[in-house]
Amino acid sequence: MKIALAQLNYHVGNFESNTAKIISYIHQAEKQGADLIVFAELCVCGYPSRDFLEFNEYIALCEEAARKIAAECHQIACIIGLPTVNNNTEGKDLNNSAYFIEQGQVKAIVNKALLPNYDIFDEYRYFEPSTVFKCIDFKGHRIALTICEDLWNTIENPLYITRPMDMLINEQPDVMINIAASPFAYNHDEERINILKDNASRYQLPLFYVNHVGAQTELIFDGGSLVFDKNGVLIDELPYFQESVAYYQLESSSDLKPLQKPTISQKKEGDIAQIHQALILGIRDYFDKSGFKTATLGLSGGIDSAVVCALAAEALGPENVMAVLLPSRFSSDHSIKDAEGLVKNLGCKSELIPISDITGAFESTLQPQFKNLPFNIAEENIQSRSRAVVLMALCNKFGYILLNTSNKSEAAVGYGTLYGDMCGGISVIGDVYKTQVFELAKYLNREREIIPVNTIVKPPSAELRPNQKDTDSLPEYDILDPILTQYIEHRCSPAEIIKMGYDDHTVRRVLRLVNQAEHKRYQTPPILRVSPKAFGMGRRMPIVGKYLS
């Protein structure tokens, strides 16, 4: 049996595009003599569809698309993923399903049994878990077909009380196929490989795994589809962050070979390199799938906006990036020069719009109310909000989309201005800690100087008052970021973090800042997710909770 794996980029709710793409690859695989082509979980509608799944018409359009796909399968079979109606009166209205299509007909339906309901996953909100497990016979082979999480319960601390493969193995399959929608996090690829390797060796069966690639708003899918032999040896690993199709010959559970040169990477990319690729894909797909072309951002001369500008230029082309320099009376000459140097290095468009007159007008207007009160955070935030007004005016006039440039460290402790530097259409580095931003800047400069060296080496500053430094308000980032990581990613308590050797006062202050800033994060743009625990849909905290505040 010749099997094709199709690792493709889908668009949520774009049935016309998704269906045409699937059919195109069916025809391509058929010409290559494939017997079966495998697509990813919920490929027909895209993942995650979220509350679109509550519309009956949406589910009907999925079924209509599946019929169109089936009509193209005569000399080749295919596996596709889609939501289907649960015909049982008990339980949720839908199943997360896989169709096995052969000779123009749906010959088998497999429903997902293990429904993730943690972090970004919310599948039990929509789907009923399957309790029926049957293999599929095709071309002399017996296939154990599962969907994503169904193979993830082999971990040391199981989340579920069943393992679908423990039941499917009783039917004596000779191959496993798993279709998935597994989002990117910089530490997730190794975990994924280990989980699937364990399944192959545990059940002594070859395993084919197909993942999505592409971004859906804040979620990024990295591809990296995998093939293992029955001993758990990795046979092939499809490219990360790009569409790919690969072919394999399966004669028996012991006879499996790729029909192209395997793309297994002997040297794994480091975290920063992966984050770079993920953010490029995230920006590009956000614009392409939303129908946008041109990005703008406020370019301060600091490292955050420099990194975002460089990423946007790489993702969209420098001609589609408008960098706006918005100096105030506190902006230093070197900051303006650094920003101008970046624009020159990138070749993007730019505008220089000083905001001193704008902020002066606000302060003059408010003088009767402010009277002679000393300069404080009110005047600082007027500057930030003035910049936002200018940037949003340009967006409205010229159709730009504003890129938010706040990093994860700032977002965590609330070091940003609501309706000021926290606004934007998409937050590019909101899941990248400040220390990682520095590493990302150096990575962007790996072949030539893109980000001026002075931008990287100078002390970070918001430049909203004379001689301001970030460290006036925050601990050094090499102290702050590890504390934040332990609290946000690892859910450690203050006592646990202090026991690691961090200063008691600093830890409690930092965690209090994180919790007091929750209301700000509720009002931020979607954040491109690159870590195992990002702010946004995967982290749900009360705004007025007392704990740790």
Q: Phi, psi (5° rounding) for residue 30?
A: -60, -40
Q: Phi, psi (5° rounding) for residue 535?
A: -70, 145
Contacts of residue 122, defined as CB under 8 A and 6 or more positions apart, other chains included, come to 48, 50
Residue 406: HSE in the Cβ half-sphere, 13 Å Cα cutoff = 30
Catalytic residue among 112, 230, 434, 533: 112
Q: How far apart are CA 234 and CA 202, in angstroms?
A: 14
Peptide bond into 183 cis (omega under 30): no
Catalytic residue among 62, 73, 135, 148: 148
148 is catalytic: yes
DSSP single-letter state for residue 249: E
User: Which single residue is written with the structure tokens 């202050």?
Assistant: 509
Catalytic residue among 41, 149, 237, 463: 41
427 bridge partner residues: 404, 527
Selection from 465, 316, 441 nearest residue 380 by Cα? 465
Residue pair 414/520 in contact by the 8 Å Cβ criterion: yes
43 is catalytic: no
Selection from 27, 24, 29, 31 nearest residue 9 by Cα? 24
Write the DSSP assignment of 87-133 as a string of letters.
Answer: -SSSS-SEEEEEEEEETTEEEEEEE------STT--GGGTBPPP---
Contacts of residue 342, defined as CB under 8 A and 6 or more positions apart, other chains included, come to 299, 306, 309, 310, 323, 450, 451, 452, 455
Q: How far apart are CA 375 and CA 324, in angstroms?
A: 26
41 is catalytic: yes
3-class secondary structure for 345-409?
HHCCEEEECCCHHHHHHHHHHHHHHHCCCCCCHHHHHHHHHHHHHHHHHHHHHHCCEEEECCCHH
Q: How far apart are CA 192 and CA 225, in angstroms?
A: 10
Secondary structure element (H or E) that encloses residue 62, with its range: helix 56-70
113 bridge partner residues: none
DSSP single-letter state for residue 177: E
Contacts of residue 101, defined as CB under 8 A and 6 or more positions apart, other chains included, come to 66, 69, 70, 73, 77, 78, 79, 80, 107
Q: How far apart are CA 277 and CA 513, in angstroms?
A: 31
Q: How far apart are CA 224 and CA 209, in angstroms?
A: 9
Which residues are designated catalytic?
Answer: 41, 112, 148
